[in-house]
Amino acid sequence: MAGNELGHFKMEKSNGSLLLAEPIDREQLSRYVLTVRAEDTGGLSSVAQVMVRVLDTNDRSPEFIDLPYIFRVKENDLTGYIGRVHVTISTSDSCLFALFQCFSKSGERC
Ligand SMILES: [Ca+2]
């Protein structure tokens, strides 16, 4: 099997099952292209490419940028908008897992 220089995959020669040899990280490499070769007992062989796409799981915390956030709001002003916090998830998990929640200093959800 070619394309497995990192040793992330292994193949069972008896039945062609492709298995993970160790955990893989989508944030490091999201796609693999492997070349596998099958050979019969008569010495004839064929080669095929196998593409493996790594699906994302939520295993990275979002990162706040431009800290600290300082907003000003007039007392008794209930018009709504106060400010906006900026979070980056572009270098970690996909946007599927983005969700904002607000917590007070005591840790209670707002
Ligand atoms: Ca992830």
Report d(CA 30, CA 10) in Å as an integer.
18
> What is the distance in A from the centroid of ligand 1 to the CA of 9?
19
Residue 43 belongs to some domain of the structure = yes
> What is the distance in A from the centroid of ligand 1 to the CA of 10?
22
User: Token pair for residue 21?
Assistant: 């040899």
Q: Name the 3-class secondary structure at 33.
A: strand
pLDDT at 92: 59
> What is the distance in A from the centroid of ligand 1 to the CA of 51?
19
Residue 25 belongs to some domain of the structure = yes
- Residue 31 host element (H or E): strand 31-39
Range of the domain at 33: 9-53
Residue 49 belongs to some domain of the structure = yes
Which among 32, 40, 36 has a CA at the least distance from the CA of 2?
36
Residue 86's φ and ψ, nearest 5 degrees, are -115, 130
Residue 22 belongs to some domain of the structure = yes
> What is the distance in A from the centroid of ligand 1 to the CA of 29?
11
Residue 14 belongs to some domain of the structure = yes
Q: How many domains does the chain have?
A: 1
> What is the distance in A from the centroid of ligand 1 to the CA of 66?
23
In the predicted model, residues of the chain with pLDDT beneath 70 are: 89-110
> What is the distance in A from the centroid of ligand 1 to the CA of 72?
35
pLDDT at 78: 83
User: Token pair for residue 91?
Assistant: 């270098």
CA angle (42 as vertex; 36, 43 as ends), nearest 5: 45
